[in-house]
Amino acid sequence: MNTKEEQSLFKKGFSRREILKTAGIGSAGVILGATGFSGILTAFGETPFVDDNHETKNKVNFYGKHQSGILTKNPEHAYFVSLNCTAKSKVELKEMFQLWTRYSVQLMNGHLVEPDSANKLLPAPDTGEAVGLDASHLTLTFGVGPSLFEKSELGMEHMKPHELKDLPHFPKDQLDPRYVGGDICIQACADDPQVAFHAVRNLIRSARGLVTMRWSQTGFNSYGMKDKKKMTPRNLFAFKDGTGNPNVDDTKEMDEVVWVQPGESESWMSGGSYLAVRRIQMHLETWDRTALREQEATFGRHRDTGAPIGKSDEFSDMEIERKENGKSVVPENSHVFLARQVKDRMLRRSFSFSDGINSDTGSFDAGLLFISFQKNPQQFINIQNSFGRADKLNEYITHRGSALFACFPGVKKGSYLGAGLFD
Amino acid sequence: MNRFIKVTGLLMLSCGILAGCGEDVSHETAEKEESVQTKASSTEKEVSTYKQFAIEQLDEFVMATEGFVEAVKAGDVEKAKELYAPARMYFERSEPIAESFGDLDPRIDARLADIQAEGQGEEEWSGYHKLEYGLWEEGTTEGYEETADQLLKDVKELRAKVETVEVTPDLMITGAVDLLNEVSTSKITGEEEIYSHTDLYDFKANVEGAEKIFEIFKEKLTAKDADLVKKLDENFTVLDDLLAKYEDGKGGYVSYEKLTQEDTKALSSAVDNLGEPLSQMAIVVE
Ligand code: HEM
């Protein structure tokens, strides 16, 4: 068999559905030896390369100019995890990201991370809970936090972009150390919560000894349909969340708001983006006893339609300077009004969460896993500072978790995640 | 796994996907399975070494239990407390074997919670943990003489029965991982020794039990996957070093209550980091 044939063979990978069909009848997956995929390829002196499989249903591509899970529309379920890095050298870390590259493609193809082994005394290389499920639009987004660059054993201090630092303390922050910081993050989003979880679980399992889990948060979004199109999802305060976002299909706008351009940061960040994440508790009990008019004044939008106050269409112009009898129509302490006091913009990609109840108070532990992407963390900082103490929304929310990560640019075929940083 | 099998694996892989050569597939499967079998039978030396180890441990366990039971019956609470945890270590080290006897294991080692979970009453409770309760909770041995006698009987029976256990590579491989799982599920949480808080003794013994199995397979394993051996060596060292931090300077360990959440988290992740490569040890039978 020549090299080309092998490659095309391996590109096919193992569909999780295929495995179901063939299990037990001496299928390819079952016959393969314990050392698995990489072992076989290594025997031929090949570096394992797995490509995006375009025949896969409900698939998002892994390879490209930018990572997936940033501009990808309409994410439903998220599993976000922040990790501590315990690797002892940069080489170990680089190898981990190389493995994660291959695994990510497999996962986003809806395949097992490694085929099963014939040896039943070994645990299965893939944990298996996604068998029978398709790719479910899985996206995987990887980033590194400021603390990673402070680890002297990794020797990467000089690679740290100066804008990559812990977010400053903001007025009214009440951060809980259990939800702060991290050396590395993985954001997994999918139409199915189990597919997202499976991806993170297998990535972490493959990196035992190199990372430990620091904190994690799941989240969800639900989309109503109108004319066969998904509508803006509502957060747990019942307001449409995402209306004011910039247009992800507008390349120019994305280059201005989201993607780091050459020369704007360390070169390994060109084409990447900064991910700000906040775990924000939403006090549902207080909110629920607030008059509807007050609720609408809190955001500056109507609840039902999502339209700017005084208007009826969700997407009509905010016209923030509108006045009636000398008073601003959109209240000056409303969330949207304050967000627009600075010229900075960001791409928000948040998820609701509900984590049972707070054992101290007996109230819901629910809120928003706020995630935003911007080419410079300062955009987030400026907007959050504009909210400051003034935002009427502050009465109903408390920021509990916070972290900032530099997300790598996309991966070229044959290369790997973070190559610019590790090579 | 040698190069030949890897290549075969690749050819079969192509068959599976192209689904055009069904007969060949079954033929190759048979060949592969046969080779697994042949190699499995060449683990005789390892199997008998392990059985020898288990017998030695249980010999020691009988003696240590004799001393402990004597102290209990003499009403010497302090002495009994001193002997309790070290005696149990022999048992914990050889747990994969001891566990083969479904009835004896709980008689010797059940916690009250286990008994209750089985739907039984407190009167069914016997063994080490019942005496632990008397010593630490009630501060007495009074009324525990019968339990002590029964314990010694059970331990001796266990020792006698070990001769009959059929030790297999499977039992050893699964046993090593199970020992670590024990640590993860009950030692880390301090739920094994709820009165004496001597969990670190059991912890250490479980790890030693797993390490012994690794040592026995080491030579064979090195030939197959030297990287795996290196990784296991490193991870055992990390865990052993961590445990050493809690030695009390008198040959034992500090009370588990002294450990902070940070301490137990560090121990827990060291165990997980070791468990993952340890579960790959099964390649020795290929
Ligand atoms: C639990 C906390 C939060 C809730 C419930 C919330 C909710 C909302 C809602 C309902 C809107 C209006 C609809 C839309 O344009 O999406 C909005 C807009 C916005 N929010 Fe938030 N938000 C929260 C936190 C934040 C944070 C932490 C930031 C950034 C620092 C932020 C930045 C923005 C921006 C930039 C807009 C768009 C304003 C515009 O240009 O129209 N939000 N938010």
**Contact state of A209 with B276 under an 8 Å Cβ cutoff:** yes
Instruction: Note the pLDDT of residue A97.
Output: 98
Say how far apart CA A229 and CA A232 lie, in whole Å: 10
H/E element, A415:
none
Instruction: Note the pLDDT of residue A173.
Output: 93
A167-174: which pairs have CB atoms within 8 A and are 24 or more residues apart? Answer: A167/A276, A167/A377, A167/A380, A167/A381, A167/A402, A167/A403, A167/A404, A168/A381, A170/A384, A170/A385, A170/A387, A170/A388, A170/A399, A171/A388, A171/A389, A172/A389, A172/A394, A172/A398, A172/A399, A173/A399, A173/A402, A174/A398, A174/A399, A174/A400
Exposed / middle / buried, residue A318 (Cβ in 10 Å: 0-12, 13-18, 19+): buried
Please report the DSSP string for chain B in residue order.
--HHHHHHHHHHHHHHHH---HHHHHHHHHHHHHHHHHHHHTTHHHHHHHHHHHHHHHHHHHHHHHHHHHHHHTT-HHHHHHHHHHHHHHHHHTHHHHTT-TTHHHHHH--HHHHHHTT--GGG--SHHHHHIIIIII---TT-HHHHHHHHHHHHHHHHHHTT----HHHHHHHHHHHHHHIIIIITTT-SSTTT--HHHHHHHHHHHHHHHHHHHHHHHHHH-HHHHHHHHHHHHHHHHHHHTTB-SSSSB--GGG--HHHHHHHHHHHHHHHHHHGGGGGGG-
By DSSP bridging, strand A347-348 and strand A364-374 are antiparallel
Q: Is A225 in a helix, a strand, or coil?
A: strand
Which residue type, as a one-letter code, is found at position A270?
S
Q: Which chain B residues have a beta carbon less than 8 Å from that of A118?
A: 32-33, 36
Q: Which chain B residues have a beta carbon less than 8 Å from that of A44?
A: 10
Same-domain pairing of A281 and A152:
yes
Instruction: Note the pLDDT of residue A19.
Output: 56
**Contact state of B1 with A123 under an 8 Å Cβ cutoff:** no
Q: How far is the CA of A81 from the centre of ligand 1 (A)?
A: 22
**Contact state of A119 with B285 under an 8 Å Cβ cutoff:** yes
Instruction: Note the pLDDT of residue B116.
Output: 85
The ligand 1 site (C-beta within 6 Å) comprises A 235, 237, 239-244, 278, 280, 282, 299, 301, 318, 335-336, 339-340, 346, 348, 367-368, 370, 380, 383-384, 397
Residue B159 in contact with residue B61, Cβ under 8 Å? Answer: yes
Q: Which chain A residues have a beta carbon less than 8 Å from that of B173?
A: 121
Same-domain pairing of A7 and A153:
no
Q: What is the DSSP letter of A208?
A: B
Instruction: Note the pLDDT of residue A375.
Output: 98
Residue A200 in contact with residue A186, Cβ under 8 Å? Answer: yes
Q: Which stretches in chain B have pLDDT values below 50?
A: 1-40
CA proximity to A144, closest of A190, A112, A172, A184: A184
Q: What is the DSSP letter of A15?
A: B
Question: How far does the CA of residue B272 sit from the closest CA of chain A (Å)?
Answer: 7
Cα nearest neighbour of A84 on chain B: B269
Question: How far does the CA of residue B96 sit from the closest CA of chain A (Å)?
Answer: 16
Residue of A22, A33, A209 with shortest CB distance to B16: A22
Count CB-CB contacts under 10 A for residue B233.
14
Same-domain pairing of A6 and A58:
no
Q: For ligand 1, atom 3, which residue shows the shortest CA distance?
A: A368
CA dihedral of residues B265, B271, B273, B277 (deg, nearest 10) = -170
CA proximity to A200, closest of A218, A220, A182: A218
Q: How far is the CA of A337 from the centre of ligand 1 (A)?
A: 10
Same-domain pairing of A60 and A11:
no
Same-domain pairing of A200 and A250:
yes
Residue B96 in contact with residue B162, Cβ under 8 Å? Answer: no
Same-domain pairing of A376 and A243:
yes
**Closest-lying ligand 1 atom to the alpha carbon of residue A300:** 12
**Closest-lying ligand 1 atom to the alpha carbon of residue A282:** 1
Domain that holds residue A278: 49-423
**Contact state of B9 with A33 under an 8 Å Cβ cutoff:** yes
Instruction: Note the pLDDT of residue B2.
Output: 36
Question: How much is the ipTM here?
Answer: 0.71
Residue of B14, B32, B225 with shortest CB distance to A9: B14
- When divided into structural domains, chain A yields a total of 2
Please report the DSSP string for A279-335 in residue order.
EEEE-HHHHHTS-HHHHHHHHTB-TTT-PBTT---TTS---TT-EETTEESS-TTSH
CA proximity to A135, closest of A31, A62, A214: A62
Same-domain pairing of A24 and A97:
no
Same-domain pairing of A13 and A118:
no
Same-domain pairing of A133 and A232:
yes
Q: pLDDT of chain A along its 423 residues, tens only?
A: 444 444 444 444 556 765 555 444 333 433 343 344 444 444 443 457 999 999 999 999 999 999 999 999 999 999 999 999 999 999 999 999 999 999 999 999 999 999 999 999 999 999 999 999 999 999 999 999 999 999 999 999 999 999 999 999 999 999 999 999 999 999 999 999 999 999 999 999 999 999 999 999 999 999 999 999 999 999 999 999 999 999 999 999 999 999 999 999 999 999 999 999 999 999 999 999 999 999 999 999 999 999 999 999 999 999 999 999 999 999 999 999 999 999 999 999 999 999 999 888 889 999 999 999 999 999 999 999 999 999 999 999 999 999 999 999 999 999 999 999 999
Same-domain pairing of A27 and A105:
no
**Contact state of A33 with B273 under an 8 Å Cβ cutoff:** no
pTM: 0.84
pLDDT in tens, B20-65: 333 333 333 444 444 444 444 588 999 999 999 999 999 999 999 9
- Domains for chain B: give ranges and CATH numbers: 45-166 (1.20.1420.20), 168-286 (1.20.1420.20)
Question: How far does the CA of residue B106 sit from the closest CA of chain A (Å)?
Answer: 27
Say how far apart CA A142 and CA A188 lie, in whole Å: 9
**Mutation target vs B (from A2, A121, A210; most B CBs, 10 A cutoff):** A121
**Mutation target vs B (from A10, A31, A41, A42; most B CBs, 10 A cutoff):** A31
Instruction: Note the pLDDT of residue A164.
Output: 98
